[in-house]
Amino acid sequence: MTGRRPAWLLRPAGLIDYDIANEAMHTLAARRLADEIPDAVIVLQHPPVFTAGRRAAEDELLWDEATVTARGGSVRRIDRGGSFTFHGPGQLVVYPILGLGGRPDAAMHLRRLEDVAIRTCADLGVAVGRRADVQTGVWAGEDKICAIGVRLLRTRVTLHGMALNCDTDLAWFDGIVACGLPDHGVTSLTRLLGRDVPVDEVAPVAIRHLADVFELTFADAPDDIVRPFVAAAVA
């Protein structure tokens, strides 16, 4: 364990409202930038929401917002990189709030997130990997299983993160051009393994690999840090 950094782990139960979680994540990142708190990793699920990164084009949202709302979802335009993606029940979402030190390497951070997803899937019996011909993410053949999009706060602290499809309802992806790639599909651990693979099965595996890949030693976050996320649970 020598050389590992201490980090808070937040794993609120239920489906956590996207807007409140996003605001709380940004608050934590600002505090991490000011060295008021240690690194933190948030592991959660959201109610159905399409998020549009800075490169998202309007025509990549294939359903109008009224249709999204009628289906029980929402659309949010946010400050991470990338295009449209979907978050919802059955998807493991990980937001690392990490200080990258005096020589920040955004590309290495992305590769480490990919490593976490690849190792997690391997432990569950699925071989996945990177693709040199397309953008960041983790793939099973032509289908993406894990979307990754981040932002660096003043180039030093990471925001946003990764979304790994476990037993996600993949029909939601019909409403967008996922990650701006019209000729590629999406998949999930459930589809690839031919059995239900819930988030509760996947999360402990991913958390172990997050600790190993990022060289972190996790401790539970204090109650006042977790409270905004707990209060944001909608189901």
Q: Which residues are catalytic?
A: 179
- Cα 133 to Cα 85, 130, 218: the distances in Å are 19, 9, 35
Cβ–Cβ < 8 Å for 202, 92 = yes
Tokens 């029909």, located at residue:
171
Burial class (CB in 10 A: 0-12, 13-18, 19+), 198: middle
Identity of residue 109: H
How many of the other CB atoms lie within 10 Å of CB of 223? 8
Q: Name 69's Cβ contacts closer than 8 Å, sequence gap at least 6.
A: none
Q: Which helix (H) or strand (E) holds 229?
A: helix 223-231
